[in-house]
């Protein structure tokens, strides 16, 4: 193991491209000067395809959770009832935010590791037509599930006048999303995952339908008031001091997306998902989610005959590799591998090989190279 050679394979923060790191290290400029206006004018149109929208994507200095809270504060009137679909730890976070604002919150729980079924939400909404907003998690980071938000949006708008608000923090930039065509009302993501940046920015896009609600909302807010961000962005500014270093990096990220092509970016993430899954299937180690519900950005593995924490310790000690553990009731029962952002199929071959080594070190009777070989075959077949 060499110094300064960490291997980060968690579902965020993710590794940063060297060109983005160099961009982030640029000297500061005046945040009210013309250079910053020019920077924001360059960024603004390039963000829209990532979200699949013609709406402006608003940029706030803050974590992804700041974006989730911003959506709640702006889109829910005092006295409204909301539904939160909970498929893991980050669905629960939406519940906690709503409850912090004394919002009457309906909670629809789904077993961790499974995707929500749109027909179940359809039935629930028929019984609760008074609901004014439905919150869902696109990729549930804690389980590696990708929820069917396109179908959920259709059900929500067929059954109610509610807004449909989506946490896309751990997948936007790594999976295809068509916010406008799918009829998503607010879509949120953060900088430190598939967007290949350090933590510290959150992004929100808002539909015309949602803007009508936001503009009539009398819930008090200062920093999180989206109308301020929209107004300032029109003139190439932000209402409060922006995270300038991250904006430099964001410009470079968007240029990298354009160079690679978004469809190629999404195909790369899908390939890495399939390589990871076929590797563990070959090693006969169970996956938490089924193939149909699996996210292209993070894979959760649930072993039956060894301690995931022992595996993580060996990887850290012998390679300085970090993979994620489980959260809440899955703590100590699963491990998770992030494969998003600045990550390639070559990285996954290396990761799987290291994991095979670590499995051998903790006494698992695995055939060394078995998982790597399966991943190689998946890569050679084009990901199928």
pLDDT tens figures, 231-251: 999 999 999 999 999 999 999
For the residues 157-167, what does the mean pLDDT come to? Answer: 97
For the residues 270-298, what does the mean pLDDT come to? Answer: 98
- CATH class of the region 7-13+261-380: alpha beta
Cα distance from N-terminal residue to C-terminal residue, the chain: 34
pTM of the model: 0.97
- Fold (CATH) for 18-258: 3.40.640
% of the chain surpassing 90 pLDDT? 97
pLDDT of residue 6 exceeding 80, the answer is yes
Instruction: Look up tokens 């009508």; give the residue.
Output: 212
What are the extents of the domains in the chain?
7-13+261-380, 18-258
Q: What is the DSSP string of 270-333?
A: HHHHHHHHHHHHHTT--BSS-GGGB-SSEEEE--SSS-HHHHHHHHHHHH-EEEEE--GGGTTT
> What mean pLDDT, rounded, does the chain reach?
97
pLDDT tens figures, 95-131: 999 999 999 999 999 999 999 999 999 999 999 999 9
């Amino acid at each position: 193991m060499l110094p300064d050679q960490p291997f980060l394979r968690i579902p965020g923060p993710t590794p940063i491209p060297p060109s983005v790191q160099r961009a982030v290290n640029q000297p500061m400029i005046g945040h009210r000067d013309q250079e910053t206006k020019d920077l924001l004018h360059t960024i603004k149109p390039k963000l829209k395809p990532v979200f699949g929208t013609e709406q402006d994507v608003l940029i706030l200095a803050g974590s992804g959770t700041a974006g989730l809270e911003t959506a709640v504060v702006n889109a829910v009137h005092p006295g409204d009832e909301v539904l939160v679909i909970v498929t893991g730890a980050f669905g629960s976070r939406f519940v906690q935010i709503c409850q912090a604002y004394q919002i009457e919150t309906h909670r629809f729980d789904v077993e961790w590791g499974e995707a929500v079924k749109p027909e179940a939400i359809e039935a629930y909404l028929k019984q609760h037509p008074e609901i004014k907003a439905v919150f869902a998690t696109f990729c549930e980071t804690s389980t590696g599930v990708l929820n069917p938000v396109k179908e959920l949006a259709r059900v929500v708008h067929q059954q109610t006048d509610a807004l449909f608000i989506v946490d896309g923090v751990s997948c936007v930039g790594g999976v295809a999303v068509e916010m406008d065509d799918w009829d998503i009302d607010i879509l949120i993501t953060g900088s430190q995952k598939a967007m290949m940046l350090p933590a510290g920015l959150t992004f929100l896009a808002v539909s015309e339908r949602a803007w009508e609600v936001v503009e009539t909302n009398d819930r008090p807010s200062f920093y999180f008031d989206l109308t301020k961000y929209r107004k300032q962005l029109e003139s190439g500014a932000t209402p409060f001091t922006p995270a300038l270093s991250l904006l430099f990096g964001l410009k470079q990220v968007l240029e990298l997306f354009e160079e690679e092509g978004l469809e190629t970016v999404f195909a790369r993430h899908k390939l890495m998902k399939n390589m990871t899954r076929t590797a563990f299937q070959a090693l006969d180690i169970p996956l938490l989610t089924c193939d149909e519900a699996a996210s292209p950005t993070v894979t959760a593995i649930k072993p039956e005959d060894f301690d995931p924490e022992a595996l993580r310790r060996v990887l850290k000690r012998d390679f300085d590799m970090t993979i994620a553990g489980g959260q809440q009731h899955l703590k100590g029962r699963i491990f998770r591998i992030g494969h998003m952002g600045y990550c390639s199929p070559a990285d996954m071959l290396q990761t799987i090989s290291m994991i095979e080594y670590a499995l051998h070190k903790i006494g698992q009777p695995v055939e060394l190279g078995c998982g790597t070989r399966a991943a190689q075959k998946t890569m050679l077949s084009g990901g199928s």
